[in-house]
């Protein structure tokens, strides 16, 4: 039997545990140029690949320049799932500023 551990609190969970949750996060560029269109299908892909290789030669490998999506998976117990839903970035709330009416 495979055993899982909550990635936030360390609680042990079994693979058949109905209270085990999986959280998937994907980080990718938001611009629409990565969506497949009819023009992409009709395009000469071999020429495009050749052009990209020529552009990449001599450049450093900066992971922040890579448009490849980053996928992250977390195992979570029910308590930590609720914490994640309430505050996904685990940040302290920013104080609200109120202004007086002048």
Mean pLDDT, range 78-83, rounded to an integer: 95
pLDDT tens readout for residues 6-56: 999 999 998 888 889 999 998 887 765 657 777 777 777 777 778 777 777
Other C-beta atoms lying within 10 Å of the C-beta of residue 44: 9
pLDDT of 59 reads 63
62 pLDDT above the threshold of 70: no
Structure confidence at residue 60 as a pLDDT band (50, 70, 90): low
The pLDDT of 55-78, averaged and rounded, is 77
DSSP reduced 3-state for 92 = coil
């Amino acid at each position: 039997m495979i055993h899982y551990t909550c990635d936030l609190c360390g609680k042990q969970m079994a693979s058949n545990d109905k209270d085990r949750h999986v959280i998937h996060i994907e980080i990718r560029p938001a611009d629409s140029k990565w969506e497949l269109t009819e023009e992409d299908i009709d395009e000469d892909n071999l020429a495009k690949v050749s052009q990209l290789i020529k552009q990449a030669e001599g450049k450093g490998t900066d992971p922040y320049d890579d448009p490849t999506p980053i996928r992250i998976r977390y195992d979570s117990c029910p308590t930590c799932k609720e914490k994640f839903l309430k505050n996904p970035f685990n940040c302290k709330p920013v104080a609200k500023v109120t202004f007086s009416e002048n």
